[in-house]
A = this chain, B = another copy of it.
Amino acid sequence: MFELGVVKRSINRANRVAADALAAFGSATVHEALGRVGLLQPYMRPIYPGAQVSGTAITVLLQPGDNWMMHVAAEQIREGDIVVAAVTSPCTDGYFGDLLATSFVARGARALVIDAGVRDVKTLQQMGFAVWSKAISSKGTIKATLGSVNVPIVCAGMLVTPGDVVVADDDGVVIVPAALAVATAEAAARREALEAGKRAQLASGVLGLDMYKMREPLEEAGLRYID
């Protein structure tokens, strides 16, 4: 598990249509559709607001202060992938900047999710390359120690298997197992349809207490109204 010094070249990417479709629902709806699992820790934040993407995961396991494997990962990227990177121990260094982003874009990557730091954030925003990270730091890294590419990793508290779908927006990052991508996209579409109706009711002044029929269970739970 979490083997070092390995690059897996063939991975089973999730269904392309579903992987692409999930972005539109956003991470909150996808998280619900998946059964309320799969969310990375909320310290993972976009480096600029507004980006909303989904794609298939290329995974990278890095060593502290060393981004050698990011270059190895670049070769494994295909159109529609999102690179997800973890480090073997907590580190805030800037593992990724505009040069690597240029290379990743040329290979077809849509975004980077990294449980560490990045730099050149202004340029990355100008390029429109989306990144979710734990930190921003000017401190670069060395290229001396092996990690791995396309092994299962834990990124910000969540297991990520190569080929899983990554859904990320201003609310956070959700991982959808490849085998559940199609079903999750369908569930998300159903959920979104339901929410539209609820939104209209709530906007008209109907209370959630009534719309969700909560008054009785609240009373049973013992809620007391006083003046």
Interface on A for B, CB 8 Å cutoff? 1-10, 26-28, 30-32, 35-39, 41-42, 45, 48-50, 52, 63-66, 68, 71-72, 74-75, 88-94, 97-100, 102-103, 105-107, 117, 119-122, 135-140, 142-146, 152, 154, 157-159, 161, 169-172, 174-175, 177, 180, 195, 198-199, 202-205, 207-209, 212, 214, 218, 221-227
Contacts and interface: CB of A to CB of B under 8 A. Distances in A.
A65 to B, nearest CB: 4
A121 to B, nearest CB: 5
A112 to B, nearest CB: 15
A199 B71 contact: no
Give me the 3 closest cross-chain CB pairs, A-B, nearest first: A64-B65, A71-B208, A103-B202
A39 B154 CA distance: 12
A139 B31 contact: yes
B38 A2 contact: yes
A17 B196 CA distance: 37
B107 A205 contact: yes
A152 B146 contact: no
Contact of A1 (B106, B137, B159, B169): B159
Contacts of A42: 90, 92, 117, 135-137, 139
B10 A227 contact: yes
A102 B199 contact: yes
A226 B93 contact: no
Given A1-B177, A37-B88, A136-B42, A207 B159 contact: no
A171 B89 contact: no
A43 to B, nearest CB: 8
Contacts of A71: 207-209, 212, 214
A72 B144 contact: no
Contacts of A208: 71, 74, 99-100, 103
